[in-house]
Amino acid sequence: MTGRDLHLIGAAATEETGLGIEVTGLRVRFGSVEAVAGVDLRVEQGQSLGLLGRNGAGKSTTMRVLAGVVPPAAGSVVVGGHDVRAHPLEAKRAVGYCPDVGGLVPRATPWEHLQLTARLRDLTGWEDRGRELLERFDLGDVAHRVTAGFSHGMARRLSVVLAALHEPAVLLLDEPFDGVDPVGVEATFEVIEDARARGAAVLVSTHLRDLAVDVCSEVAVLRGGARMATIPSGFMAGDDGARAYRALLAG
């Protein structure tokens, strides 16, 4: 079975429900700390949802649950039509995940990262897309340089490339704009729009409200591990949106 076959399986499962992501009553605990406290999220096919909130709001933990990295303590989590607890492998196959930190091998080059991703996902004929993504993110000239010397922004850009390579049914981008220059921001916008155009569900976690408003159709604001509101992105734009956002963060 090729990587393209896996993509089609994920897409078909999503078509049955019309939802790429459905989270109900998600709770995650680390010892005595409840990092996520009953979060509900829904992201339809072709939709992008932004997760906004301060550090410690539960954004990255929610992303890690969706990516199959952290198990939920309670609640229902379905990605690409697959329950992450009942069908973890199928759920992971449907997802492309850019973590908030780490994920890169310091002694490997961007091209070697692409090769590893392709091998793990059994992709064939991926080389042209890999080259195109590296060029789009201004990483073509360093494709064969080890990532140990990369700036934070370069590492962020490569992480988005790796998440998008196999055209997943669900694209999870955790802080993709952190330390990224305008070229990288524009390239990430293009990847998100491409994903939406082919019917993928996109979840973007960021602390940058303006960028979330620009690229997402809705935003969900988290505070203290709980979802305070889900709002059409237009209502979060400009000075009025900034005031509304501050009010939600303050409680």
Ranges of the chain with pLDDT below 70: 1-17, 251
Please answer whether residues 50 and 234 qualify as being in contact, where contact means their C-beta atoms are separated by less than 8 angstroms: no
CATH class of the domain whose range is 3-250 = alpha beta
CA-closest candidate to residue 203, choices 220, 186, 187: 220
CA-closest candidate to residue 43, choices 168, 161, 164: 168
Checking 226-234 for CB contacts under 8 A at 24+ apart, the result is: 226/37, 226/38, 226/39, 226/58, 227/38, 227/39, 227/40, 227/41, 230/41, 230/49, 233/50
The pLDDT value given to residue 96: 97
Q: Are strands 33-44 and 19-30 parallel, antiparallel or unpaired?
A: antiparallel
In order, the DSSP letters of 73-87 are: SEEEEEETTEETTTS
User: How many residues are listed for the chain in this entry?
Assistant: 251
Which letter, b or e, does each residue of 117-146 get, where b requires 16 or more Cβ atoms within 10 Å of its Cβ?
A: bbeebebeebeebbeebbebbebeebbeee
pTM more than 0.85: yes
The pLDDT value given to residue 251: 65
CA-closest candidate to residue 187, choices 159, 146, 148: 159
The pLDDT value given to residue 103: 86
Q: Is 107 exposed, middle or buried (0-12, 13-18, 19+ CB in 10 A)?
A: exposed
CA-closest candidate to residue 98, choices 74, 77, 67, 129: 67
Per DSSP, 100 falls in state S
Tokens describing residue 114: 């692409």
Dist. CA 170–CA 44, nearest whole Å: 10
Q: Where are the domains of the chain?
A: 3-250
